[in-house]
Amino acid sequence: MSEGLIPPVGPDDHAQGPPDAPVTLVEYGDFQCPYCGAAYPVVHAVQKAMGKRLRFVFRNFPLKQSHPNAEHAAELAEAAATKGKFWPMHALLFENQRALTDEHLLRYAEQVGLDPAWAAQMLAEGAFAREVSQDFRSGVRSGVNGTPTFFINGMRYDGAADAESMIEALEGAISR
């Protein structure tokens, strides 16, 4: 089992913050996972506290056995990404994670400015299943076995998932 991030963060990743930030936080997450839902405001607090010193990356790791709507939610986020709407969709999915049926997903697509008919077609065709699967496989290679799983500058972070602890670990990574 790996302790490092495979592959490293690259241009195809969904990232917020400067590419040359001194520290990168990667989350493998599942839009239907309640623990990821709890981590969502923590990550926001960390981003706010760290400012331009942090690059945040999100990779999909839908746990389909436990969360039957997670796969389509991830596929919709990937579809939204092709229209420059990944982060608004990411926010909507986490803020409404108890309502992720396909019917709900199409409403969220419309809310972020996507054509719901196009979104429905993309989901029906599994047009973005490959991208989700690539993220999932990279997570498996990186030793991810649950969500959320975080990496700081490519190394797995197994500390507490509260803002204060994460900020401390991120600051430590900057000073090393």
pLDDT tens, N- to C-terminus, the chain (176 residues)? 456 999 999 999 999 999 999 999 999 999 999 999 999 999 999 999 999 999 999 999 999 999 999 999 999 999 999 999 999 999 999 999 999 999 999 999 999 999 999 999 999 999 999 999 999 999 999 999 999 999 999 999 999 999 999 999 999 999 98
Which residues pair with residue 145 across a beta bridge?
none
Beta strands in 53-96 (DSSP E): 54-60
d(CA 11, CA 16): 12
- What kind of architecture, by CATH, is found in domain 15-175? 3-Layer(aba) Sandwich (3.40)
Q: Where are the domains of the chain?
A: 15-175
d(CA 92, CA 77): 10
**89 token code pair:** 């969709």
